Structure 1
Amino acid sequence: MEYLTTAECASKWNITQRRVAIYCKDGRIAGAVLKGSMWLIPENTEKPQDPRKLRKLEQEK
C-alpha cells in the first residue's frame, strides 16, 4: 500500500496541510497512521467532508 504525506494530500484535495492533519487527528481519515511526527495517509483515501460547512448549512435552515 502506498501512502501520502499531509502536504501531498493537501495539494491533491486543495486544502491546507493543517486541515489534513486535523482530519487525521480527529480520526476522520480511515487508515491514517502517525509515524513519529508525520501522518501517513493511504493514497486511495477520499477527502472527508468539512464539518464546518455542515454546521453552516444546518444554521441556515
Structure 2
Amino acid sequence: MDLITTKEAAEIWGITIRRVQALCDNRRIPSAFKLGDIWVMPKDTPKPLDGRTKAARAMSQKNKR
C-alpha cells in the first residue's frame, strides 16, 4: 500500500496542507491515520466533498435517508 502525507495530498488535491490536516482531524478522510505525529493516507484516497456545494448537500441528504 502506497501512503502519502498531508503535504502530498494537498498538492494532488489543490488545497492547503492545513486544510488537509483539518479534514483528517475532523475524520472527513476515513482512511487517514496518524503515523507518529503526521497524518498519512493511501495514495488513491479521493478528496472529500466540500460541504458548501450542492453536490455535498445532496449526498448528505441521501445518506440521512
Instruction: Return the TM-score normalized by structure 1.
Output: 0.79
The equivalent of 1:38 in structure 2 is: 38
Instruction: Report the residue type matching 2:7 in the other structure.
Output: A
Instruction: Report the residue type matching 1:35 in the other structure.
Output: L
Aligned-pair identity in percent equals: 41
Post-superposition shift, 1:50?
2.1
Which segment is superposed worse, 5-14 or 21-30?
A: 21-30
Count of residues paired in the alignment: 55
The equivalent of 1:17 in structure 2 is: 17
2: CA distance between counterparts of 1:8 and 1:31? 15
Do 1:34 and 1:40's aligned partners in 2 also have CA atoms closer than 8 Å? yes
2: CA distance between counterparts of 1:43 and 1:17? 16
Q: Which is bigger in relative contact order (C-alpha 8 A, separation at least 6)?
A: 1
- Runs of 4+ in structure 1 over 3 Å off: none
> Over aligned residues, Cα RMSD in angstroms?
1.7
Deviations 1:2-49 (A, max 9, x none): 110000000000000000001111111121111111001111110001
Long gaps (5+) in structure 1? none
